[in-house]
Amino acid sequence: MTTADRFDLTGKVALITGAAGGIGRVTAARLAREGASVVVTDIDERGCKDLADELAALGHRALGVALDVTEGDSVGAAIASAESVFGPVDLLVNNAIVACPIPPKLHEAPANLWDTDLDVIVKGGVHCCQAVLPSMMERRTGVIVNIVSVNAFAFYGHPSYSAAKAALVSFTRSLAVEYGPYGIRANAVNPGTIRTAAWAEQEAKDSAVFDALTQWYPLGRVGDPDDVAAAVCFLASGSAAWITGSVLTVDGGLTAGNSVMARSVEGS
């Protein structure tokens, strides 16, 4: 990484949900390297505490806190306990999902799948925002970054996840408009396929799944968690001071057009 790639988050307190997962842990580590004190939260208590220990061993300020984003009553208490250690949250990253390795078609979806996606992605994001907004409003500063997905904008399989992510995009815009006057910014990072454990079951079924997906990506590869982490750090930093309500697409060109069709049209 060069100096130009750095986003100074020194003195900031960042809280990320789903931090024991693929994108979450890399983003938490990147936030820590940029100087933030990082509250790493996940429903997986062991996972987030182990990650916090790893970051602390590297000399970073990190705290692991078990947090189930769907439990509205306990989210506030968990965040308040973290704030009693590091101080108020300056940056919230809503990242948690329940990965659905092989997404079912709509008519085959188990009864609770829609509830799970809407509860974790939409209501989970709302609960976390409600916990951090009062202090951000009082201090007239704060940043919220919601991790959405290209599935929010076009269909790539998995109806309930797609609908929930579309709702999170809408929620991001509501946050930006309602809380902009308090100096609070809210943006979404919009990834395409990112190589994480969320794909493990599909990869076990078809070891070439990422090779097959690569053909759709003009930049010739699927994404890495670092690609998302960099976008989060940019949006959290002062370099993005006048950016709010936006969706930063991090998808290697997937949604810029249809590269497979373009090759057919051009006969190449």
Ligand X SMILES: NC(=O)c1ccc[n+]([C@@H]2O[C@H](COP(=O)([O-])OP(=O)(O)OC[C@H]3O[C@@H](n4cnc5c(N)ncnc54)[C@H](O)[C@@H]3O)[C@@H](O)[C@H]2O)c1
Do the Cβ atoms of 223 and 191 come closer than 8 Å?
Answer: yes
37 lines the binding site for ligand X (CB under 6 A): no
Q: Which is nearer to ligand X, 42 or 90 (CB)?
A: 42
Q: Is 156 a catalytic residue?
A: no
Which of 34, 68, 90, 117 touches ligand X (CB under 6 A)? 68
Q: Rule CB under 6 A: say whether 198 interacts with ligand X.
A: yes
* Closer residue to ligand X (CB): 17 or 187: 17
- Residue 243 in contact with ligand X, rule: CB under 6 A: no
Which of 12, 49, 161, 217 is an active site residue?
161
- 23 touching ligand X, by CB under 6 A: yes
Instruction: Considering the candidates 49, 165, 179, 217, report the single residue annotated as catalytic.
Output: 165
| Closest separation in Å from C-beta 32 to ligand X | 17
Q: Which amino acid is it at 143?
A: V
What character string, x for contact with ligand X (CB under 6 A) and - otherwise, covers 140-169?
Answer: -------x-x--------------------
Least CB distance from residue 66 to ligand X, whole Å?
9
User: Minimal distance in Å, beta carbon 143 to ligand X?
Assistant: 17
Smallest distance from the beta carbon of 168 to ligand X, in angstroms?
8
Residue span 98-137 as binding mask against ligand X, x where in contact by CB under 6 A, dash where not = xx--------------------x-----------------
The set of catalytic residues is: 161, 165
